[in-house]
Amino acid sequence: MLRRHPEPLLWMLFSAGGVVSGMLMPVLVLLFGVAYPLGVVDAPTYDGLRALVANPIAALVLFTLCALSFLHWAHRFRHTLYDGLQIKHLNEVIAVVSYGVALVGSGVAAYLLWQLS
Amino acid sequence: MEQTHTYGDTPYHPRWLRRRVSTYWWLWKPAYLRFILREGSCMFVGWFTVYLLLLLAALLEGPLAYELFLAWSATPAVLIVNVVTLGFVVFHAITFFQAAPQAMVVRLGRARVAPQTVLLGHYAGWVVVSAVVAFFLLGA
């Protein structure tokens, strides 16, 4: 029987997640994580941000960012534990837990963005 | 306690004799440390994704929850974590884009696009995406 391996797909999602998070996250962390809390720039108003997130294109970008970032994390986390820290005997458990967390996280993102639209 | 040798556990395969490497091998050389920091950046990517979901949840709950989220984001512990996160996501972006020319071969007709062009394309994309996001968020 020919078994199709999920590994190539997982690597593709990992790298897509790496590019998308690399492009979008630095500016988002700078604003939401540092500049707004420090008061360097004023945080968006509730209505302003809510309207922005309700935009279908913004929602799609945010969903893509969240889902691919979670998968990027899951894949890299699993491989670092396996190759880097050599926790090989727990490989299956770690895979199920990390990809599981990524799927649940993506589901939560989809639900929130759907409710906000 | 510490094994010096271990056998490969592949079934139906001649057993390999392998020297067991310390779990802390990545502290031996700066290049190894950079590798583990690069891999470790994924934890910060994961953290910030959760942070974004918390922001969306606060937005969904209402104006008061949003104000509470902003106040929470300014508490010292969260702020410190996010400053560190900023460093790691920038490191992640640079290392990931640096690897892109090796991972993808772009062709225009029969000619291969120079690796430097692929790298520059990623950086240009990064600048444009950041500018667009900042434009919309600062206007909101």
Q: Which pLDDT belongs to residue B105?
A: 80
Average pLDDT over chain A, rounded to whole?
A: 92
User: Could you tell me which residues come within 8 angstroms of residue A17 by beta carbon, excluding any fewer than 6 positions away?
Assistant: A68, A69, A70, A71, A72, A73, A75, B45
CATH topology of domain B38-103: 3 helical TM bundles of succinate and fumarate reductases (1.20.1300)
Q: Report the SS3 class of residue B33.
A: helix
Phi and psi at residue B115, in whole multiples of 5°?
-55, -35
Q: Is the dihedral of CA B75, B78, B81, B87 positive or negative?
A: negative
A27 CB near a chain B CB, below 8 Å? yes
Number of Cβ within 10 Å of residue A2's Cβ equals: 3
CA distance B140 to chain A (A): 5
Tell which wins on pLDDT, B10 or A117.
A117
* The CATH number of domain A8-116, selected from 1.10.10.60, 1.10.3720.10, 1.20.1300.10, 1.10.260.40: 1.20.1300.10
Q: What distances in angstroms separate CA B128 from CA A55, A99, B98, B132, one per listed residue?
A: 20, 31, 18, 6
Q: What are the residue ranges spanned by the domains of chain A?
A: 8-116
Tell me the average pLDDT across B70-91: 98
Contact: A24, B133; criterion CB under 8 Å: yes
Those of residues 61-100 in A touching chain B at CB distance below 8 A are: 62, 65-66, 69-70, 72-73, 76-77, 79-80, 84-86
**Cα distance between residue A28 and residue A34, in whole Å:** 9
Cβ contact B79–A34 (<8 Å): yes
The domain limits of chain B are 38-103
The per-residue pLDDT for range A6-47, each reduced to its tens digit, is 888 999 999 999 999 999 999 999 999 999 999 999 999 999
Amino acid code (one letter) for A5: H
Q: In the structure, what pLDDT confidence band is assigned to residue B100 with cuts at 50, 70 and 90?
A: confident
Q: For residue A44, what is the DSSP state? A: P
**Stretch A52-65: mean pLDDT, rounded?**
96
Question: If you compute the radius of gyration of chain B from its CA atoms, what whole number of angstroms results?
Answer: 22
